[in-house]
Amino acid sequence: MNIKMSLLTVSALVALTGCTHPADVSHPLTEVADKNAHFTVKDIPGGFSVEVRYSRYQFVPEASALLVACRSLVTARAYDEAKARGREIEPINEQTIRVSTGRNIVKARTACRAFAEAHFKR
């Protein structure tokens, strides 16, 4: 009986350590809002580019879910940046977003990078 209780306690602790809290979505996307995401915005002729580096702990790797999250982050960050600049941008075609993923097996972190260019409306 004592072994079962110990096993249950250890299982509960392992489950709790894998939990995370949601990011603050009430503010524009910045590195402060989500500590797992790092953004780089650079000016280009006629607009700007956005690069996102995002990683998170995943006990069971879900690269497809991370790809969706990465595309969403880069698109949302581009629209937030355009709003901050007081300009509108052309719609970003999802096919033009470059995305790649990787996995650190030792730390059980899955990472992705996404890059998109945003062009101002004329």
* Nearest in space to 30 (alpha carbons), one of 21, 40, 20: 40
Q: What is the pLDDT of residue 33?
A: 56
Q: What residue ranges do the domains of the chain occupy?
A: 30-119
List CB contacts of 29: < 8 A, sequence separation 6 or more: 37, 39, 73, 76, 77, 80
User: For residue 20, how many other CB atoms are within 10 A of its CB?
Assistant: 8
- At 83, which helix (H) or strand (E)? helix 63-85
Side-chain half-sphere CA neighbours of 108 within 13 A: 6
Q: What is the pLDDT of residue 8?
A: 56
Give the tokens for residue 52.
């996102």
Tell me the pTM: 0.70
Q: What is the pLDDT of residue 87?
A: 95
Q: Per residue of the chain (122 residues), give pLDDT as tens.
A: 566 655 555 555 444 444 544 445 444 454 445 678 899 999 999 999 999 998 877 777 677 888 898 999 999 999 999 999 999 999 999 999 999 988 888 877 888 999 999 999 98
| Right CATH for 30-119 from 3.30.70, 3.40.50, 3.30.2420, 3.10.50 | 3.30.70
